[in-house]
Structure 1
């Protein structure tokens, strides 16, 4: 019997809604008691019981971006911060493009007569008794999936949907053109998976969480009995990570010019996420046979105005509570675009916390090399929340971090610090404005899959407080780290930037880049000696700067940018890499990129010297 596949993704409604960003500015009072007093006060005054109270309030109901509940929480946070005595607390409103499911989405398998054999679930079945409030209202969808109906008679499995996976299919003469592509979550950003499939002519994509990744102990050892994903767990999430799609490069305020919807950087094919139970039914029934798929979307657009407000300040701390991170890093991007000139001129560092606890194996940081030193210094001041680690002689965050995640690179004798890409709110600050940025979290052991319940309906208060962090000691440690770092950047006479580690990183990255692309560059007859000299000059200037300083502007990010093959990570020398990946690189374009890099490295070197001319 021939089996057909019908996938109905009905009614992804794109709506212009007001996104609220809560910001505050607080100016530190004169440091009359000294650094030690501030540090001790900060370390001793963070109360897990207070964290628990706030966490319970914030997670009591679903609050998707643009919803009434989302705004209510923003207003509540504003009032709470004002109650703490903080000044200039403001709500920043932006009119942005959002995406939400209009009606439930699903796929169906049909027999040759058109009769339904199986229908997927459009929600995630309850597993708690009673289930959390509003969990049954969370519909399965991927933000910004295309609208419309798509029917195909071919289904192709593409593993993680990376460039390498699609290239492997091509080597076996398997085309995804005019097909529905089934891809498992993991390894790279979901939007890149869809982009690669769309570029190869796919009609639609089904994304699913593979049990090998999210339920390695089997379906019986899953939430609520463990942190692993039950069969119906479905990872939701956006297919774009660049802020408001109708005002690219500009804030989505009332006066903004908006491009037409058809010109926005939106996926052109429908996409639907499912759990591994439904995916297993699909894969068992299809088994490479011909099938058909139908994906349906409706479209409805409305707008309402916002009232953006700015701020002024000299040496200040600015705390931000971003809205609409998951639909595409929207709140933070619009803020960064609106105040880009002030931020470039005045902001010295951006400290981000997104997924605070993906596991409780070790502390982990992501960030640019010039922040590595200060992160490690502060980690040595924070008490270890892991009591078993304290018993074996590792009393601080740093101790466990070093023991469990050492940097294995040549000469490495410190903990590992990971790179990052465009997966969180640091994206605009780091890669658009060039502000040194970092993110921190607690994570799983090497080789383990982090946070199996990521972006599912089971990311609950219970998961955090009973299964991952009883007593909320890991939350407390994270708050201490965050506070210490903010304190250091706000009170030191000289900003704690690691100039030498950064220029050494650039030098090492250049050597690695040449190892990969030297043959192509030679074949193109492209000159690189001036770029090589600029890297050497930058390295020497960095060392000289630190030696004269005794006891600060990094290059704009022509050097670092989110990877085009995985938006969750960065690449060094991104412009050059993009050109040299092409089948027939353009020699003049390559030479131009080399000249641009050379110019920026020399400017950075000049900024590090104490002479006007060099």
Structure 2
């Protein structure tokens, strides 16, 4: 009878051979996959962190910063002027040169520029033999000033969005023009109604100084850069030290809102809806009395003519300054400011740096 012969399908030797073949195939597959991944990595991987580090350092070295600073400050460039448009174009070009996606957007915004200013100090409101001082309201050019050749392009010192008008009254000193300063004046029996209030920069926003003076009944406000806060703290005035020059004047906005006063809460795009002048005035965010910024030396000249009670110790100036008194008077101020209110074009420059997380979200 025929024998059934059992033929093993897998002997020990054949199993070893199969295992070897399987391992070889696996190694070949892994090597192939590794090669593909390596090629893909070298082809599409982003720059290493060291590349970004080098780029960051190259953008912010002293020479680069000095070059950009000179380009941005070489000429006056007030908002809404051709000079400011040129600066915006420079910033756009610099960002684009650094391989950053950049673009600019123009807006038509409500701006103000000075047409006429005057500030006259008399020793008393009535004609007297005492001298009358008409302040020139000019910042001096110091010897060797590298910007002296463009001084004529500098706008006269003024408060942006200041109310146009003329006012006259006895000078009264109100320290930093804070609410507590006017409360202290009332407590001392000093009435600033109808006065031209003199206050110093240093503690609160200039727009709030003028608003507080207005609410106290003042006819106008003059804000000066006191040496106590801006004189360099004993280290000298510019250019020898960090202090503001004695004729230096701090300028800026007096609008107490944000953005364009005629488009509160929305962009000032060309042809957009705008508030009327009456609506802007009714907002209560624009100053209701005229004002001017003046220098430390002009502020001291006014303080020398103010009599009345001696101001508290923490209202006084630096050593060597005149004794600060509260007034009002006898020094008498005539202030005039006339501004041009207009729509002008400005530019916003944007550059985009994509983050690793949520690169499509603007932050």
Would you call these one fold, judging by a TM-score over 0.5?
yes
Residues in 2 aligned to 1:299 and 1:142: alpha-carbon distance in whole angstroms: 10
Higher-RCO chain (CA-CA 8 Å, sequence separation at least 6): 2
Question: Which structure 2 residues correspond to residues 215-614 of structure 1 after superposition, within 5 A?
Answer: 215=231, 221-240=236-255, 241-264=257-280, 265-287=285-307, 288=327, 289-303=329-343, 319=351, 490-492=355-357
Pick aligned residue for 2:202 from 183, 186, 211: 186
1:128 aligns with 2:143: yes
Residues in 1 aligned to 2:159 and 2:107: alpha-carbon distance in whole angstroms: 22
Q: Secondary structure at the match of 1:57?
A: helix
Residues 131-140 or 234-243, more deviating: 131-140
Residues in 2 aligned to 1:253 and 1:34: alpha-carbon distance in whole angstroms: 41
Return the structure number with greater helix share. Answer: 1
Once the 2 structures are TM-superposed, how far is the Cα of residue 118 of structure 1 from its aligned partner? Answer: 1.3
8 Å CA contact retained: 1:250, 1:256 = no
Q: CA distance change for structure 1 residues 211 and 107 in 2, over 3 Å: closer, same or farther? A: same
Aligned to 2:31: none
1:64 aligns with 2:96: no
Alignment RMSD (CA, Å): 3.0
Aligned to 1:101: 114
Query: Deviations 1:35-63 (Å, cap 9, x if unpaired)?
Result: 45534542465332122112111111111
8 Å CA contact retained: 1:109, 1:282 = no
Aligned to 2:8: none
8 Å CA contact retained: 1:121, 1:278 = no
8 Å CA contact retained: 1:123, 1:138 = no
Residues in 1 aligned to 2:86 and 2:248: alpha-carbon distance in whole angstroms: 28
Query: Deviations 1:188-235 (Å, cap 9, x if unpaired)?
Result: 1111111111112111111001111112556x9311111112211111
Structure 1 alignment gaps of length 5 or more: 1-29, 311-317, 321-485, 495-614
Aligned to 2:134: 119
Pick aligned residue for 1:161 from 165, 177, 187: 177
Q: Secondary structure at the match of 1:192?
A: helix
Residues in 2 aligned to 1:106 and 1:197: alpha-carbon distance in whole angstroms: 18
Once the 2 structures are TM-superposed, how far is the Cα of residue 302 of structure 1 from its aligned partner? Answer: 4.2
Structure 2 alignment gaps of length 5 or more: 1-43, 308-326
Q: CA distance change for structure 1 residues 147 and 104 in 2, over 3 Å: closer, same or farther? A: closer
Query: Deviations 1:278-319 (Å, cap 9, x if unpaired)?
Result: 11111112322334433323354444678x999xxxxxxx52
Pick aligned residue for 2:193 from 177, 188, 206: 177
TM-score after normalising by structure 1: 0.43
Residues in 2 aligned to 1:42 and 1:231: alpha-carbon distance in whole angstroms: 39
Residues in 2 aligned to 1:190 and 1:243: alpha-carbon distance in whole angstroms: 16
Residues in 1 aligned to 2:337 and 2:358: alpha-carbon distance in whole angstroms: 56
